[in-house]
Chains A and B, each alone.
Chain A
């Protein structure tokens, strides 16, 4: 039996992978300093900031999507900023999805990195300082290699979670082929149109993808924990 993805399915798959890749890269850049700060700070702000980062874990995606839609709209702060930059407004565009997904997948990237940095403790940083390594030098040549399992887990979870988004996408992006219609929305469309065979193919592919990703992650973590 041949794989029966339609041309529209392939567009949705391509768009989803592009979205997840961009979001994962952005999250590694944005999430790492946040994770670093959360892992090292003694400030009373740690609790509130950690809670904000973790909010998407428990909020209904519609709530997050609703507020982001307002914020990115013509009168919202993000919308004002993007208009000032001459970029127009973000809702119903690919980059709107990127911004929304960055918020939505943030805890999946921040928490593994934060845990890995916390597990390192102070000692390697102190050792690096006594060996003449400055802060950035220490970060790239001591912290990143020692916390690598945390960064790998963060990238895998961030990517996989973005692939699996639905609610936030529907709120922010709607359903524009090639722009905002990702796999999960495409499946929704198939089901609405009673195209169950198509829906089966895409859903089955998602189940397989998620299983392979998670299995790879857990096997990787298991091997890292061996002495």
Chain B
């Protein structure tokens, strides 16, 4: 088996109320970066993650992690012998131990213990130094999840599995943790499998994405590619959009803006403190993109790019269409009414200007 990838093959039928749930996947995932298992609730993504952890036992499953066999027919490495880290959806801290006790429980049993420096670094990364002597009942949901993440990281797993670690948190707590996860993505070389139903989280964190629907992987590939695919059978609704990766090339301190160059053009975005030269990830939602036949300068919209209209498909509502415009090497998706497109007389293959009303740097 390839020592660079994670190969997972599972078939499972779970009898539920009324209908049976089928999981049937055969995946090859990259051995580094963040891979998102993306899908609606009930699609089977958590079950797949549990299969990978060995928490859900599947007969005849196969799992190879970077050249190591964790499961194949007639072989099953029990969960406690797998070099993995697992972050559960809701708090998983042991209630009878303090934050420090929880982390020490893990370290005591780890095959490889972190040295002083990487220990301190992880505690600092998750911002939990001041919480170490508290018990889970004295911590907020977000703080508990940060400690759970640190606990999973400190045992230096070969694979980190995260099951919707933010799902049980409210909007503010989510935004409190997301920056820590983004730092984690940049600063660790442990491959991470991240289960989520939130297009926003996935856009911010994932490098590779597998879309799961009814127990099957219906699309997979690098994040930007899969998100730009407007034919995706799973409808993202208001979350439809693309992710563009670029570099900061200029800072305008006067207007608090930065200029980001990407394969296809440049965008002015809000200055959130990214250094010139830094690589940033920008999310462009289809609902914030409009189309024009000519560049208009009598508008408040700053980011206007020229491209070619490639594909137009029907959106969920009959009044709306999604248009895919190629700008240089980058695909941008726009959501407009069918009537607007008709009035503009735009057809596939025509030159078109995309006007981007707002963009969000997701880093």
Contact = CB atoms under 8 A, between A and B. Distances in A.
A141 B110 CA distance: 15
B88 A131 contact: no
B55 A126 contact: yes
Contact of A127 (B78, B81, B84, B88): B88
The bracket for how many chain B residues form the interface is 20 to 34
B77 to A, nearest CB: 11
A206 interface: no
Contacts of A177: none
A130 interface: yes
A146 B110 contact: no
A165 to B, nearest CB: 34
B53 to A, nearest CB: 6
Contacts of B92: 123-124, 127
B109 A129 contact: no
22 contacts: A126-B55, A126-B79, A127-B86, A127-B92, A127-B94, A129-B80, A130-B53, A130-B55, A130-B80, A130-B84, A130-B85, A130-B152, A131-B106, A132-B110, A132-B111, A133-B109, A134-B80, A137-B109, A142-B94, A145-B94, A146-B94, A146-B96
Contact of A133 (B54, B80, B137): B80
A47 interface: no
A127 B53 CA distance: 11
Interface centre among B84, B109, B110 (most CB of A within 10 A): B109
Interface of B: 53-55, 78-81, 84-86, 88, 92, 94-96, 105-106, 109-111, 137, 151-152, 155
Contact of B79 (A129, A141, A142): A129
A15 B22 CA distance: 62
Contacts of A227: 137
Contacts of B151: 131
B56 to A, nearest CB: 10
Interface of A: 123-124, 126-134, 137, 141-142, 145-146, 148, 227
Contact of A129 (B78, B105, B111, B152): B78
A130 B79 contact: yes
The 6 closest A-B pairs by CB, nearest first: A130-B86, A132-B109, A129-B79, A145-B96, A127-B92, A129-B80
Given A123-B92, A127-B94, A146-B94, A132 B80 contact: yes
Nearest to B81: A132
B27 to A, nearest CB: 21
Contacts of B79: 126, 129-130
Contacts of B88: 123, 126-127
Contacts of A145: 94, 96
A33 B280 CA distance: 56
Nearest to B87: A130
Contacts of A132: 80-81, 106, 109-111, 155
Looking at chain B's contact residues, the main secondary structure is: mixed
A132 B81 CA distance: 6
A116 to B, nearest CB: 13
A133 B111 CA distance: 11
A132 B94 CA distance: 14
Nearest to A123: B92
Contacts of A124: 92, 94
A74 B278 CA distance: 88
Contacts of A137: 109
Contacts of B55: 126, 129-130
A120 to B, nearest CB: 10
A141 B53 contact: no
A48 to B, nearest CB: 24
Interface centre among A123, A130, A132 (most CB of B within 10 A): A130
Given A132-B81, A141-B105, 9 more contacts: A126-B55, A126-B79, A128-B80, A131-B106, A132-B110, A132-B155, A133-B80, A146-B96, A148-B96
A145 B54 CA distance: 25
Nearest to B137: A227
A146 B95 contact: yes
Nearest to A120: B95
A127 B110 CA distance: 14
A131 B155 contact: yes
Contacts of B81: 132
B330 to A, nearest CB: 39
Contacts of A129: 54-55, 78-80
Contacts of B106: 131-132
A130 B81 CA distance: 8
A134 to B, nearest CB: 5
A225 to B, nearest CB: 13
Nearest to B54: A129
B120 to A, nearest CB: 21
Contacts of A148: 96
A142 B137 CA distance: 17
A137 B78 CA distance: 14
A42 to B, nearest CB: 13
B65 to A, nearest CB: 14
